[in-house]
Chain A
């Protein structure tokens, strides 16, 4: 059976095509202001990569903050369920999942079947989401990719006093004026954000294995800071962390078809 999973997020819309438990196509486009167009574009691009047509799809699962715009979907999955399903699929021993996205962070505790036992969401404050790192990269005049790599080169622990992204921007400018090295500022930024995400994880309990998904999982500076903050040796990250929720939706669609 072939299913598709579409995750319409705040920043990107992602599609995964799943055939008998294997990913055969992926598509990612900027969500922009027309969610339904982004959904269509990401689905088309994933279908193209998979080399199949729309009518070969048995079911389509939809998830994400813009899930309502996915009119193509016949199965709807909430974000928490999608992330837990994907995490346990990729790492069967996963019991804690953190999805750090552009404008939201979700943490979930799950059982061996991928059922959600407890969860926490931050969608109110940019300080605990990818938007924080984006703003900091702008303040440091560096790219988002470089920001994470820069942090890896520092062993200093400079505390950030501000929680708020807006105030942290001014604080970073102040650090630049004080001639603090870019790599040290970058580490301070990642440490500050990691401590906030870690406290969200602690709220639902730190149960190994810990899996991190979402675009921020691609940032080595953040993942290192999070491991240090949680005091764990390993945080497991799937191959394409930003597609994990879409994968969860595709899995749910397949399960729906099996019933």
Chain B
């Protein structure tokens, strides 16, 4: 049991990746986007507007260190060095504390731009479910923001809320989605909005003999409800795309899809990259205008 308690069920895998089809030496502009979020940080390296390398890791207690660590992890498997970078943009919650950035851009703009790249220019509504906020963004075919709504005050519906639940129920966060469907019947959603109260409610359900998977289902359903009501307020125009870590949790996303009666677009890219991709693209656009470091 003590070993069980010591496991960190909320912990998700940190990754990095290099595109084998691109040689950075052939490129004209190397741009970097670093998204320092409240929970996770990503660095995306682009060569002439194509994704060359990236990293995805947990944000530490200091934003500058998190930005540095994310960039080193992204460059780890490459021969590319920082001095070759033509432009670097910081975004996310810690965007003003990215030491190597030439400038910062808000995560709203970056997510819209990034979703436009990752999912294609037919995207009109982007839902970003991040670690400590939910954003519903409307954008045009250029990935330019036309309207948005955000909840960043309350953990209900955010990734952090799901991490708290994974920990409470001792279920690895990557398994939450699948396990929430290993049930006999769809339970009633957890009724408390507040994550603190939802935790007490879940503990109560467990004591009554409700199975862990059913409690997961009840929480996933509550999260889907919460996200749905935010989306309703901006009104969803297709095509619809989801970014951020929650896009990987089918327990929430499949239930949300059902409520929306709409299929979100799919992509081969990691959904957590959208913000950093958008930032790197803004950097590329500036280089094209001759505003790069060696422009």
User: Which chain A residues have a beta carbon within 8 Å of chain B's beta carbons?
Assistant: 33, 103, 124-127, 131-132, 135, 163-167, 170, 173-174, 177-178
Contacts and interface: CB of A to CB of B under 8 A. Distances in A.
A164 B197 contact: no
B61 A125 contact: no
A167 B132 contact: yes
A166 B197 contact: no
Contact of A164 (B62, B154, B200): B154
Given A164-B155, A167-B160, A173 B194 contact: no
B245 to A, nearest CB: 16
Residue among B160, B194, B208 having the largest count of chain A Cβ atoms under 10 Å:
B194
B207 A166 contact: no
Given A166-B160, A167-B155, A173 B193 contact: no
A126 B62 CA distance: 27
A65 to B, nearest CB: 12
9 contacts: A33-B204, A103-B197, A124-B192, A124-B197, A125-B194, A163-B153, A165-B196, A166-B155, A170-B160
Contacts of B207: 33
B204 A166 contact: no
A126 B194 contact: yes
A78 B194 CA distance: 24
B158 to A, nearest CB: 8
A60 B195 CA distance: 35
Contacts of B132: 167, 170
A125 B160 contact: no
Given A33-B207, A177-B61, A178-B61, A163 B154 contact: yes
Contacts of B208: 33
Given A127-B194, A131-B196, 19 more contacts: A33-B208, A103-B197, A124-B192, A124-B193, A124-B194, A126-B194, A126-B196, A132-B196, A163-B154, A164-B155, A164-B195, A165-B194, A165-B196, A166-B155, A167-B38, A167-B155, A170-B38, A170-B132, A177-B61
A135 B196 contact: yes
B18 interface: no
Nearest to A131: B196
A166 B196 contact: yes
Interface string B109-126: 000000000000000000
Nearest to A163: B153
Contacts of B61: 173-174, 177-178
Contacts of A165: 155, 194-196
Interface in B194-213: 194-197, 200, 204, 207-208
B285 interface: no
B161 interface: yes
A103 B200 CA distance: 10
Contacts of B161: 166
Contacts of A132: 196
Nearest to B207: A33
B164 interface: yes
Nearest to A123: B197
A81 B24 CA distance: 73
Contacts of B155: 164-167
Nearest to B203: A33
Interface string B20-39: 00000000000000000010
